[in-house]
């Protein structure tokens, strides 16, 4: 493959990632609307549950998601209003705010687990194991490269 073909493929993948992200957000927003939930609110609860063993701070979640602390706080406040999350001052550092999922949150998402599994099965039905494995490896490698780029950006600021 020559450089022009390789660059074309890279551009297709790069644009495709944005397109897929936007379309998935629209689909999730529509399906979660009946529960008065948004894709961003879902994502925040998912990140807290999947990436942290104990309640994380706003800053820790913001770093994982790649968003500002202020944006995460706005989403968290909406979830707190709905009873899905508690914002708590850190016992050691009173400036830090920790995000704790509530029992209501765990029960809510547990109730949607079958629906979520069906959605994922439908979404990936046309991909075989080899394609799934290649996609997963590619996403991990891109994620690692993005972390490196973020680190370089933080150092230069």
Q: Model pTM?
A: 0.84
Q: How many CA atoms lie within 13 A of 6 on its CB side?
A: 3
Chain Cα centroid distance, residue 26: 14
Which H or E run includes 40?
Answer: helix 39-51
Q: Name every residue whose Cβ is closer than 8 Å to that of residue 87 and which is 6 or more positions away in sequence.
A: 73, 76, 77, 80, 97, 98, 99, 100
Mean pLDDT of 18-44: 95
* pLDDT over threshold 90, residue 43: yes
Rounded distance, CA 104 to CA 101, Å?
Answer: 8
Which H or E run includes 117?
Answer: helix 113-123
Q: What is the mean pLDDT of the chain?
A: 93
Q: List 97's β-bridge partners, or say none.
A: 89
Which class in CATH covers the domain with range 3-103? mainly alpha
Are the CB atoms for 87 and 80 separated by under 8 Å?
yes
Among 91, 81, 83, 82, which Cα is nearest to 55's?
91
Domains in the chain: boundaries = 3-103
pLDDT at 47: 95
109-138: pLDDT as tens digits: 999 999 999 999 999 999 999 999 999 999
pLDDT at 93: 85
pLDDT at 155: 61
39-51 helix and 58-65 helix, angle to the nearest 10 degrees? 110
Q: Which two tokens stand for residue 103?
A: 């029992």
Q: pLDDT class for 157, splitting at 50, 70, 90?
A: low
């Amino acid at each position: 493959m020559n450089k022009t073909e390789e660059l074309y493929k890279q551009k297709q993948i790069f644009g495709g990632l944005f397109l897929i992200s936007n379309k998935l957000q629209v689909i999730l927003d529509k399906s979660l609307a009946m529960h008065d939930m948004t894709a961003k609110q879902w994502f925040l609860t998912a990140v807290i549950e999947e990436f942290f063993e104990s309640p994380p701070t706003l800053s820790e979640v913001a770093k994982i998601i790649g968003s500002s602390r202020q944006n995460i706080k706005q989403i968290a406040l909406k979830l707190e209003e709905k009873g899905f999350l508690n914002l708590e001052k850190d016992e050691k550092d009173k400036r830090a705010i920790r995000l704790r999922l509530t029992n209501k949150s765990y029960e809510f998402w547990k109730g949607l687990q079958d629906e979520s599994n069906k959605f994922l099965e439908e979404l990936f039905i046309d991909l075989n194991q080899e394609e799934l494995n290649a996609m997963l490896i590619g996403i991990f490698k891109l994620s690692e490269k993005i972390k490196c780029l973020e680190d370089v950006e933080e150092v230069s600021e």
